[in-house]
Amino acid sequence: MQETQIIREPIAYEKVPTRIFSNSEEASKAVANEIAELIKTKQKAGQKAVLGLATGSSPKTVYAELIRMHKEEGLSFKNVISFNLDEYYPMQPDAIQSYWRFMKEQLFDHVDIEPGNFYIPDGTVSPSMLAQHCQDYEKKIKEAGGLDFQLLGIGGNGHIGFNEPGSLENTKTRLMMLDQSTRVAAKSDFGGELTKVPKKAITLGVAKILQAKRIVLLAWGERKAPMICNAVEGTVSAQNPSSYLQKHANALFVIDEAAASGLKRMKTPWLVEDVKWTNSMTKKAVTGLSIGLGKSVLKLTNEDYNDNGLSDLLASHGNAYDINIDIFNQLQRTITGWPGGKPDADDTHRPERALPKKKKCLIFSPHPDDDIISMGGTFQRLVDQGHDVHVAYQTSGNIAVSDEEAHRFLEFVVDYNSGFNVENKETLETYKEAIDYLNNKKDSELDSPTVRLVKGIIRKGEAKATCRLVGIPPENVHFLDMPFYETGRVQKNPLGKADVKIVSALIEELKPHQIYAAGDLADPHGTHKVCLDAIFESLKELRHKNYMKDCWVWLYRGAWAEWDIHEIEMAVPMSPHQVMQKRMGIFKHQSQKDGVVFQGADSREFWQRAEERNQATAKLYNDLGLAEYEAMEAFVRYHF
């Protein structure tokens, strides 16, 4: 592994070696390097390299780097034998969701591995042959000489392979009932319909995984943080199968900063090593101390600092009161009911500048509902306070509409047309065909262009309804339909020049004073990240333009998580009435209610998540000793 890419070394009380990288791309390169070195070493010795491979979103970047090495550096896979961890059961190999198809698309079709040299559990084997199939799979691994290297992801519930919580250390390769949380997380791969997610999977057993000579577990994003923390710092338990890696002599967790966010060295680094007391670090320590002790910031004493490992911070300031008042004031100054700046107010103590009084604000929303979910209260305030607010929906969001929802709308079109004797027979036929298509759609098929169009129109209509409710005119609503998104499947294309061009064109046209964008880190390979990268790229291109000098960029978080309290630079309070108004705005997105496609492992609906999150932020401020609000939306300023 390339040590230079590692931001911190492993530390003593972590029970399994853990390396934290600033992002998943860097981390994946390091892991791909290690795999490539293994392949090459074995090649030189005239031996096979036996790899255990995983599917899921986490290893994709590793596979992409291996493909690059094959194409650009001549890395050969001729001596590789691979065994995949798992496969849904039952599952046809050509189905979109099959791990067979995943591995072919993500790796095997792009490298020179011999066709007979990769093995994936067979999702078509008959129930009576399953036990034999599992035994044979283990036997084949043994005959190949055992796994030299096992790559793992980790489930939100701690599973490795599909060894769900409760799996014992000695479990063999077997058929496993999938946890409800695993099935819910997989729902988006199955058109959003939980009933279509298989209930079972064949998985390599924990025992076989632990027999690998080397194990590397990958985890990206905040969603993985609780289980990572438990596996790295907690005790070994069947409730978190990834914790078994503590018992392995040569295992490594390779994680990004977001997945590491629960670890002590990230949460309370001053307890682990010498830190530089920057303002941000001080804020983190003081707010953490306050929350940890259940005392407001202004009540913290010298003893509180000394007793909790913050004596050097205390010594550098002289006394608790000075630190407390400084941090309290900083927190206070983040709160504003004027997200577009308070007219005629003194700017020194406010997050936004007062001038110009009427600002042009551009809200970028990756999907058609992120604006209202993540910053609906602020959106409403900006409009109410007279700013010229525009919203740009970056993607069509069409894959997040269920087939059933599309069916309902298609039927409406057909019935409407016949009810009102609309003549255009050709159009009618197209919609009837689309209904037929949905009725007969197989698991291996993507949506037809008509179905995708209909799904996109449904989401467009919902976004327009939200904008009407908030009160912006139709000409301020922009649908960008960024092309990277239009694959018809969960897997999107990488960001392209055409995407950035569309974003730049709108910024150029509007010349906004404020840009709001989704700075979502929870889903590093998802649409939000690509949408944010497109904005960053565009800002880079446009930064020398005159109007950009007067443009401030505010980042809000996506549906999953909120900024840490020490990071927040603008907190916009909401009254109970405003919370209700925001809820109504979210309700406009009916295709995203009651069984949403991209539910994740969280069973709450989006309006519930948003409300609970905004209320939690308000409570946090109140617990720190600031005024008590009903709810708050939070932002961080991006300096480009």
Catalytic residues: 164
The yes or no reply on residue 55 touching ligand F6R (CB under 6 A) is yes
The yes or no reply on residue 56 touching ligand F6R (CB under 6 A) is yes
The nearest distance, CB 52 to ligand F6R, in angstroms, is 10
Which residue among 121, 123, 158, 161 contacts ligand F6R (CB under 6 A)? 161
Which residue among 30, 85, 490, 530 contacts ligand F6R (CB under 6 A)? 85
Cβ–Cβ contacts within 10 Å for residue 421, how many?
Answer: 6
The yes or no reply on residue 58 touching ligand F6R (CB under 6 A) is yes
Measured from the CB atom, the residue of 28 and 504 that comes closer to ligand F6R is 28
The yes or no reply on residue 403 touching ligand F6R (CB under 6 A) is no
List the interface residues with ligand F6R, window 439-458 (CB under 6 A). Answer: none
Could you give the CA distance from residue 501 to residue 541 in angstroms, rounded to a whole number? 10
Which residue among 5, 23, 43, 57 contacts ligand F6R (CB under 6 A)? 57
The nearest distance, CB 185 to ligand F6R, in angstroms, is 7
Measured from the CB atom, the residue of 159 and 613 that comes closer to ligand F6R is 159
| Segment (H or E) for 619 | helix 606-623
The yes or no reply on residue 162 touching ligand F6R (CB under 6 A) is yes
Q: Residue 383 carries which side chain, given as an amino acid letter?
A: V
Measured from the CB atom, the residue of 36 and 522 that comes closer to ligand F6R is 522
Could you give the CA distance from residue 34 to residue 62 in angstroms, rounded to a whole number? 10
Distances (CA, A) of 212 to 206, 217, 427: 10, 12, 58
Cβ-closest residue to ligand F6R? 153
The yes or no reply on residue 153 touching ligand F6R (CB under 6 A) is yes
The backbone torsions φ and ψ at residue 330, rounded to the nearest 5 degrees and listed phi first, read -60, -40
The yes or no reply on residue 86 touching ligand F6R (CB under 6 A) is yes
Measured from the CB atom, the residue of 49 and 217 that comes closer to ligand F6R is 217
Residues near 520 by beta carbon (within 8 Å), at least 6 away in sequence: 366, 526, 528, 529, 532, 557, 558, 560
Number of residues in contact with ligand F6R under rule CB under 6 A:
14
The yes or no reply on residue 160 touching ligand F6R (CB under 6 A) is yes
Give Cα 379 to chain centroid, integer Å: 23
Closest among 348, 332, 286 to 568, alpha carbons compared: 332
Measured from the CB atom, the residue of 428 and 601 that comes closer to ligand F6R is 601
The yes or no reply on residue 24 touching ligand F6R (CB under 6 A) is no
The backbone torsions φ and ψ at residue 243, rounded to the nearest 5 degrees and listed phi first, read -70, -15
Could you give the CA distance from residue 365 to residue 486 in angstroms, rounded to a whole number? 16
Which residue among 19, 29, 70, 159 contacts ligand F6R (CB under 6 A)? 159
- Burial group, residue 82, by CB count within 10 angstroms (0-12, 13-18, 19+): buried
DSSP state of 514: E
The nearest distance, CB 102 to ligand F6R, in angstroms, is 8
The yes or no reply on residue 54 touching ligand F6R (CB under 6 A) is yes
Tokens for 413, please give them: 């079109």
Pattern 281-300, binding to ligand F6R, x per CB under 6 A? --------------------
The yes or no reply on residue 180 touching ligand F6R (CB under 6 A) is no
The yes or no reply on residue 503 touching ligand F6R (CB under 6 A) is no
| Rg for the chain, CA atoms, rounded | 26
The nearest distance, CB 56 to ligand F6R, in angstroms, is 3
DSSP secondary structure, 74-115, as one string: ----TTEEEEESEEEES--TTSTT-HHHHHHHHTGGGS---G
Binding site for ligand F6R (CB under 6 A): 54-58, 85-86, 153-155, 159-162
